[in-house]
Amino acid sequence: MSVVAAYIGYLLWLLAGCLDFACHRRTRLPQTSGLRESALHLAQLALLGIAVVCALALSIGPTVFAALAALVAAHAVLGYLDTRQAYGRRDIRPFEQHLHSVLDLAPVAALWWTFSWWYRAEAPLAWRDPPAPMAVWIAVIAPALLLCVAPALFEFRAALAGARARAGERRPG
């Protein structure tokens, strides 16, 4: 697979994430599964954000690849916990379930692509040499911020406000 095809796949993965957040909004996540599920989304994003930054900044050898694999595995565990949190609390329709399939498989596919394209058994734990160009960093980070991080932060803010409002309703007045 070429770098261009991989980048298109990356953008489609981010689009799936954005659509997933739209599904959360439609099913009123802040009022249903709430703060806990939203926090899991932020944790999943953080894990994969760390993985992306590592892949951009470091030479991909055994140590970095093991770290990337651990981050992808942790993302999968949090994905399971995320679904368990939502189960029975909000309506997860087939379209959202399909988006979850894409969101679950894409990090594994990216890990495989990274292994097949960039992995070098002799690569020590070191910064990339030469470093990835700034244009590559921007092309990778900017769409992620726009399509996934911003919606996740808006969702968390709404879930936090909902949790605070529910806590205020329970206080004796």
Q: Quick check: 147 and 14 in contact, CB under 8 A? A: yes
Q: Locate tokens 């939203």: which residue?
A: 38
Residue 173 has pLDDT above 70, yes or no: no
- Binned at pLDDT 50, 70 and 90, residue 2 comes out as confident
pLDDT for residue 53: 97
pLDDT tens-digit map of 140-161: 999 999 999 999 999 999 999 9
Contact criterion met (CB below 8 Å) for 79 and 103: yes
Q: What is the pLDDT of residue 100?
A: 95
Q: Which residue, chain included where needed, has tokens 């960039």?
A: 118
Predicted local confidence at residue 170, as pLDDT: 72
pLDDT at 85: 92
Whole-model pTM: value is 0.92
